[in-house]
Amino acid sequence: MAHYPHPIIAREGWPFLGGSIALALLVSYAACWPWAIPFWLIALFVLQFFRDPAREVPGDAKSVLSPADGRIVAIQPVRDPWLDRDALKISVFMNVFNVHSNRSPVDGEVKQRWYSRGKFINADLDKASIENERNALHMRTADGQDITCVQVAGLIARRILCYVEAGAQLVRGQRYGFIRFGSRVDLYLPTTVRVKVTIGDKVRATSTILAELQ
């Protein structure tokens, strides 16, 4: 997949932004200005939700970058349900005010992709990782380390978008998907990684190094 150029506003948001601005203009024209204020506020919210800023890529090939903007809600040893192995899970929760563009945490090849239907409970809860709708990518780095990156739908999010399939080559920070309106991303990493963040930290996709591969 070619790098998607960052036009400030994510392509997924163009229909929503265009519709909200058209509605606000219609109300402004058909009614007095105060009636249109709520509709312009909605258009402003849509504008900020679908922003898609370019980011500098820090670190090196050993650096595991955050795949999403948000807050760290889990760092724990678990059993990776996709690869059936012991792993360290780091979870990033995105609220409606975060950038929702998802980006590759490592340089590597997509070995497999899984999609699972599920519920839409609050993505801030840990059980969302196994009960909610989700899309998982198994990625393998050049030195043979396996990473599982899972997009998880949330209470409001009802649309997971993923633009890569098995065989795709991704580089750190490359845009590969989008989740609309609040959600989370889970990373299942080798147990040997050195973690660089703590619970509660606010992180930014691409810009924040979550861990270092050993």
Distance (Å, whole) CA 10 – CA 25: 22
Q: How many CA atoms lie within 13 A of 40 on its CB side?
A: 9
Which one is catalytic: 66, 129, 183, 207? 183
* Secondary-structure percent of the chain, ordered helix, strand, coil, rounded to 5: 20, 40, 45
Burial 17-32 (b: 16+ CB within 10 A, else e): beebbeebeebeeeee
Q: In Å, how far are 154, 178, 180 from 46, measured between CA atoms?
A: 18, 15, 11
Q: Cβ contacts of residue 15 below 8 Å, gap of 6+?
A: none
Q: Is 116 a catalytic residue?
A: no
Active site residues: 183
